[in-house]
Structure 1
Amino acid sequence: MRARLLVFPIKGKKWCFSRSVDPFAAQSPSGVTPTTLRGLWKKISSESKPINANAELLVDFISDKMNKAWVGLEQAPDGSMKNKIHGFGLKLLARVKPSEIFLKSISKEVTSVQVTYPTSLDPRLVRRRLRHIAMSGTILHKKYLVGSVTLLPLTSAFMVLPLPNIPFFWVLFRTYSHWRALQGSEKLLKLISNQSNPQKPDSSDDADESKKNNSNLVKESQSPTCILLSSEELQQQIREAIEEGLDEASIVEICKSFHLNKNDVLKYRNLV
C-alpha cells in the first residue's frame, strides 16, 4: 500500500508533515483481530507465530477495546460522568504532538510513500527533513514507550478506588501510541532511506550473480519505496504565506485539496 504524504512550510521554519486520508482506501478485513480474551488466546496458541507477531496481535486487541470504550464515552448523555471523562480526554489528546500523529499514520501495511511538496523546496532537503523526523521518532518514542510501560503497574493500583481509573487508561493509551509511533518511525526511515536509482554491478562479479543483481535492481527501480513529487498547486496555495505563517483559511484550503486532517495540521502552526 502506498501512503501519500504532504510536506510544506506552515510557519517560519516550522514544516507540516501529514498523511492524506484516502476516502476510497480499503478497510482492513473484519474478524482479523479477536474480540474476546478467549479468542485472543486461541489465536495465539493455535498458530505458531514469532513473538513480535503475537505482540502486534495483542496491541491490536487492546487498541480495539480502547476504541470501543472511547466511542461509548463519546455517545454518553451530556452532563453524565462518562461525558465529562470524554471532555477531559479531548483536552489530554489536544496535547499530543502532531509529529506523533504523523508517525502513527505510517502503518505496517505501508510499502511505499509518495511525498508531495511545494516546487520552491529542494527535494534533497525534503528527504533530509523526513529522515530527521523518522530518526528522532525512533529515539524519542522508544524512550517514552519504556517510561509508559514502567508507569502501568503503578497506575493500576488506583483500580481499588470506586472511580474510573483515568490515570491507568491514559498511560495505557500513551503506551499504545508510543508503540505505534515507534513502529511508524522505523517504517518511514526504512522507506525513505532506500535508493530508487539503480547502481551498475562491478564487471568483475560472477555472471550469474550479476544477472541476479540486475534483476533485483530493475524491480527496485520499477517500484521505488519513496517517490518525491513537487506540486505547483501546493506552491500556489502557500505563496502568500509570510513569516507569521499560513492563516487558518489557507490551511483549510490545503486540507480540502489534499485530503488532510485540519485539526492535525493546525497543531503544527500552534506548536510552541
Structure 2
Amino acid sequence: MRAKVVVFPVRGRNWCFSTTVQPLPSDSATSVTPSSLKELFSKISFSNPKPFVSNAELLIDFVANKMNKGWMGLEKAPRGTFKNKIHGLGLRLLARVKPSEMFFKSIPKDVTAVEVTYPASLNPRLVRRRLQHIALRGTVIHRRYFYGSVSLLPLTTAFTVLPLPNIPFFRVLFRTYSHWRALQGSEQLLQLVSDGSQNSNSVEGDDIKSTFSEHDLKRLLSSAWVLQPSKELEELIQRGIDGDGLSKTAISDICNTFDLNPNDVLKYRNTM
C-alpha cells in the first residue's frame, strides 16, 4: 500500500502534512475485522512470534469498529435528541484534535511506500528533514499520551454506577485508541523515511514517464519513498500568498486539486 503525502508551507514556519492512501496492485487483501466476540476469540492466536502484539491489535481494531458503528448511529439520531446532542459534543471535541494527530492516524500500519508531493521551489532535503522531525516528534508525544490515557481508563470506569451514559470513559477510550493509531502511524512513517533516506528518489511529476524507462519507472515506484516536486502546487501557493500566509481561497484550491481535507489544512494554518 502506498501513502501519498502532500507537504507545503501554509503560514510562516507552519507546514501542512496531509495524506491519501493508494493501494498498490500487488497489495493483498487485508484481513477482515471481527464483527462479534465469538469471531474475535476465534481469531486470537498464541502461536504467532508476537502473540501479545498481534492479539492487542486485533482487539483494538474490534473495539474501534464498534466505536465507529456507534458513532454512525449517533450521527443518524433525530435532531434534538440526547444522542444527537452527544454527537454534537463529539464533533466539538474532534475539532480540538491537532492536525498532526489526524495525519498520523491516516497512515495505515501496512503501508509500504510513501510518495511525497511538495512545491518545486523547496529543497528536497529540507522536506525530508521536516518529515523525519515530525515523525520522530509524533512517536514521543503520542506514546506519552497513550500511556497516560490507558492509566485513566480504570478511573473512568467508576462512572458506570451512574444511570447516565459513561461519557468520560468513552472519551478516554477514544483518546486511547486515537493516540495508539497516531503512534503506529508516526512509527511507520519514521521507519519508511529513515530506511529510504539513503535511497530516496526525486522526480519531476509532469515528466516522470518521459524521463525514466519502463524498468527504471517500476524500480522507482517500488522504492520506500519518492520525492515528487510539483509545479502545479508551487503555482497555487504563489497565487494564494497574502500577508498572513496562504489565503483560504488558495487552501481550498489546493485541497480540491490534491484531494485534501480543508478543515485539517486550516488547522495547520491556525496553529501557533
State percent identity of aligned pairs: 61
In structure 1, the residue corresponding to 2:111 is in which secondary structure?
Answer: coil
1:164 Cα deviation from its structure 2 partner: 1.1
- When residues 147 and 3 of structure 1 are mapped into structure 2, their CA distance, relative to the original with a 3 A threshold, is same
In structure 1, the residue corresponding to 2:44 is in which secondary structure?
Answer: helix
Partner of 1:134: 135
Conserved 8 A contact 1:21-1:261: no
What is the one-letter code of the residue matched to 2:150?
V
Partner of 2:39: 39
Is residue 123 of structure 1 aligned with residue 124 of structure 2? yes
- When residues 166 and 259 of structure 1 are mapped into structure 2, their CA distance, relative to the original with a 3 A threshold, is same
1:135 Cα deviation from its structure 2 partner: 0.3
Partner of 2:259: 259
- Unaligned 5+ runs, structure 1: 199-218
Normalized against structure 1, the TM-score is what?
Answer: 0.86
Conserved 8 A contact 1:20-1:258: no
Cα RMSD over matched residues? Answer: 2.4
In structure 1, the residue corresponding to 2:97 is in which secondary structure?
Answer: coil
- Unaligned 5+ runs, structure 2: 200-217
Greater shift in the superposed pair: 226-235 or 244-253: 244-253
1:162 Cα deviation from its structure 2 partner: 0.8
- When residues 248 and 26 of structure 1 are mapped into structure 2, their CA distance, relative to the original with a 3 A threshold, is farther
1:25 Cα deviation from its structure 2 partner: 9.9
Per-residue Cα deviation, 1:18-58 (whole angstroms, up to 9, x for no partner): 0036599999969711111122112115x633221111101
Conserved 8 A contact 1:137-1:185: yes
What is the one-letter code of the residue matched to 1:258?
F
Is residue 20 of structure 1 aligned with residue 20 of structure 2? yes
Partner of 2:229: 230
What is the one-letter code of the residue matched to 1:153?
P
CA distance in 1 between counterparts of 2:24 and 2:260 reads 14
- When residues 193 and 23 of structure 1 are mapped into structure 2, their CA distance, relative to the original with a 3 A threshold, is closer
**Bigger Cα Rg:** 1
Conserved 8 A contact 1:196-1:220: no
Normalized against structure 2, the TM-score is what?
Answer: 0.86
Conserved 8 A contact 1:21-1:259: no
Is residue 174 of structure 1 aligned with residue 175 of structure 2? yes
Partner of 1:69: 70
Partner of 1:205: none
CA distance in 1 between counterparts of 2:172 and 2:144 reads 14
Partner of 2:268: 268
Which runs of structure 2 are paired with 1:113-262 in the superposition (5 Å)? 113-195=114-196, 223-240=222-239, 241-262=241-262
